[in-house]
Homo-oligomer: A and B are copies of this chain.
Amino acid sequence: MQRKEFRELTSVEDARILVNGIGMQPKTISILIENSIDHIIAEDIVSRVDVPSFNKSVMDGYAVRAEDTYQASETNSCTVKLIGSVPAGCQDRFFVGDGEAVDISTGAPIPQGADAVVMIEQTKQQGNDISIDRPVHIGENIMRAGSDIMRGERVLRKGTRIGSREIGVLSAIGKREVLVGSVMVGIISTGDELIQPGEPLEPGKIYDTNSYALNAGVIECGATPVIYGIIRDNDLDMEEAIDTAAGECDIVLTSGSTSAGAGDIMYRVIGEKGITLAHGINIKPGKPVVIGLIDGVPTIGLPGNPTSALTIFNEFVAPLIRRAIGASTDPKTVITAVLGTSIRSQGRHQLLPVGLVRGKVYPADKGSGAITTLADADGFIEIRPEIEYMDAGTPVGVTLFGDVTRPDVLFVGGSCPGIDLLEDLTGLRIRVIGAGSSGGFSAISNGTADIAGVNMPDASGEYNMPIIKRMGLSGVVLIKGYRREQGLITRHDSEISKIWDILEHRLINRNRGSGTRALLDIKLGELAGEKGISLREMTSSITGYDSGAKTHRAVCDAIMNGRADVGFGLRSAAGEAGLKFIKVAEEEYDLLVPKHLLDIGEIRALRECLVSEEFAGRLPAGIFVYEDSGKRIEL
């Protein structure tokens, strides 16, 4: 097996120049305007007609000579004679003379001779006599021919993206078809580990996400994606797939098989079939990328990791597609915001995915292997290679991802159905980062969360306050939340009935840092005390003690699938999964909020919801509000 390392990485600037230098011949097609949304106009659109094409009435009323009304007033109305009626679309030719009027509808052509329209509301009709009680001036209630769009006017510029308003303009000037840029982008996913979504997952395999995410990205550029599916990691299949795609498409994207490691053959295939322009860019995420030309068709080998692939796509491929399709503008929106936390970087040109919560910027980086890194992010900040450290409060430019709905509130802490219910009832967008109670405490202490949810017991049995005191938290308010029933979760046919049965069965435990796991530890510690052994001695004898399911639901899943016999968690989770629940304890789930946020609208809404009848009534069984709910303790 041959190995190659990235010895020379192309700089981001050089890679941009290189991609900009790729010549593209824009192709165009004519399509019906109703199908043209999000396409890019390939020609300047010049109106061949005036809009409107005639002087038209913008009111229902009477077309008159303005001069006839100059003396009219409420006390001294003037009278004109009705000589006919012009509905919209009418082609009859009337001539309105002195003292005459024609009944006219909104949108109808002004008859010759008339130079104003009196609104119906300002007239009275008796037989053919129309009395008018207010003067109109010349041109009143008339839209002149060409005043909306002039014949000869360039109404839309080549390169414009078509939205509903552009479609309005095209139809108004009578265009049913429009010439748009047409670029076909072939999408190939490579890798022996890939499985198509919808198929059952096998060990060691992962679902192909890049085909679908790139498909959507190509559509968002206004181009036409062609998915060629998953190709296995061998030269022959890959060459065949690339040949087909390069023959049928204007740009070919592959993902995966681009690093210099074992079995990664994309760079070799591109090198052998065409010209390699760059292999490896000094960027994070996305380093292992190959840019080449095969028979003149730009062929870009994206990294296999979804976040890397999408970052490279957005940064280098989307501009190429937009240029190929003739789009005149880059739809990027950059806003300025300040860092909510300090950031270290390590000498690579970095496009760091970030979340934005009320104008503050937080890293949203789970690593480039993660798809949720991008899904949870609102945009990215660019950190140049020479930057090593940025302080909280530093203003940064955030390049927003498209249509992002930014969260109103950033929640960190123990996951709970109560939080989902608060979100649903208030209609707020809460970004929930399930980091366990200990994650909640630290996020509040370092100022990165708007609200934390904690259920961390002390050996004394007291909840949350002992930890708060130990951490010396200040400038924070604790809001008493609700109580939750915790206990053993097992199958209905199981013999398990009490906590020490855990010792003889396979346990699925929660992750470290979770309050639920801490509660189980306390209960197991009591048991150990009775037996006269240490907690560590006790837990080391429990099968599965070191497992670390990150949610209550995952605990239930493990039991339902037979991977474990018993778990420890919420009654509500057991109930939802249809499992047996044996109550062991009742715990307190509280909320922590930085003092300065206590009275902002979003937090106020959450506090009010917490003590509302509806919230109390819709909590699932095993979670309930009590007399302390909503009480505040300032720290």
Interface positions of A (Cβ within 8 A of B): 1, 3, 5, 33-34, 37, 46, 48-54, 56, 58, 60-61, 85, 87-91, 103, 105-109, 120-121, 125, 143, 146-155, 157, 160-161, 163-177, 191-199, 201-209, 211-213, 215-217, 219-220, 227, 233, 256, 259-264, 304-306, 310, 328-329, 331, 366-375, 401-403, 405, 420, 423, 427, 429, 434, 549-554, 556-557
Contacts and interface: CB of A to CB of B under 8 A. Distances in A.
Contacts of A33: 197, 212
A261 B120 contact: yes
Given A150-B550, A211-B171, A227 B34 contact: yes
Contacts of A148: 366, 369-373
A191 B88 contact: yes
17 contacts: A34-B215, A34-B227, A37-B216, A50-B554, A51-B207, A53-B203, A56-B369, A90-B193, A103-B262, A106-B261, A109-B204, A143-B370, A150-B549, A151-B554, A171-B197, A171-B209, A328-B427
Contacts of A5: 120-121
Q: Which of A85, A151, A264 has the most CB of B within 10 A?
A: A151
Given A143-B370, A165-B213, A551-B152, A108 B60 contact: no
A155 B160 CA distance: 35
Contacts of A227: 34
Nearest to A553: B152
Number of copies: 2
Nearest to A402: B163
Q: Which of A148, A202, A204, A331 has the most CB of B within 10 A?
A: A204
B46 A553 contact: yes
Given A85-B262, A401-B165, A103 B550 contact: no
User: Which 3 pairs across A and B sit closest by C-beta, in order of nearness?
Assistant: A60-B261, A152-B553, A176-B198
B174 A53 contact: no
B370 A213 contact: no
A429 B149 CA distance: 19
Given A58-B367, A259-B60, A372-B149, A89 B434 contact: no
Contacts of A403: 161, 163, 331
Contacts of A310: 164-165, 168
A32 to B, nearest CB: 9
B164 A213 contact: yes
Contacts of A155: 372, 375
B367 A143 contact: yes
Nearest to A162: B216
A89 B194 contact: yes
Contact of A213 (B171, B263, B423): B171
B420 A164 contact: no
A48 B200 CA distance: 11
Given A143-B369, A167-B212, 11 more contacts: A1-B103, A5-B121, A37-B216, A88-B191, A88-B233, A103-B262, A152-B551, A152-B557, A153-B551, A174-B207, A328-B427
A167 B375 CA distance: 9
Given A143-B369, A551-B152, A197 B209 contact: no
A201 B49 contact: yes
B204 A167 contact: no
Contacts of A256: 107
A155 B401 CA distance: 18
A481 to B, nearest CB: 19
Contact of A150 (B125, B427, B554): B554
Contacts of A203: 53-54, 91, 109
A201 B219 contact: no
Contacts of A174: 195, 197-199, 201, 207
B331 A171 contact: no
Contact of A152 (B106, B206, B263, B554): B554
Given A152-B557, A305-B58, A205 B371 contact: no
A430 to B, nearest CB: 9
A102 to B, nearest CB: 11
Contacts of A401: 165
A203 B160 CA distance: 31
Contact of A204 (B89, B175, B304): B89
Contacts of A374: 165, 168
Nearest to A44: B420
Contacts of A170: 197, 212
B152 A87 contact: no
Contacts of A192: 87-90
Nearest to A373: B148
Contact of A108 (B198, B204, B368): B204
Given A205-B89, A366-B148, A120 B3 contact: yes
A207 B171 contact: yes
A365 to B, nearest CB: 12
Given A88-B233, A306-B168, A331-B405, A204 B54 contact: yes
A557 B152 CA distance: 8
Nearest to A200: B174
Given A167-B212, A213-B171, A371 B51 contact: yes
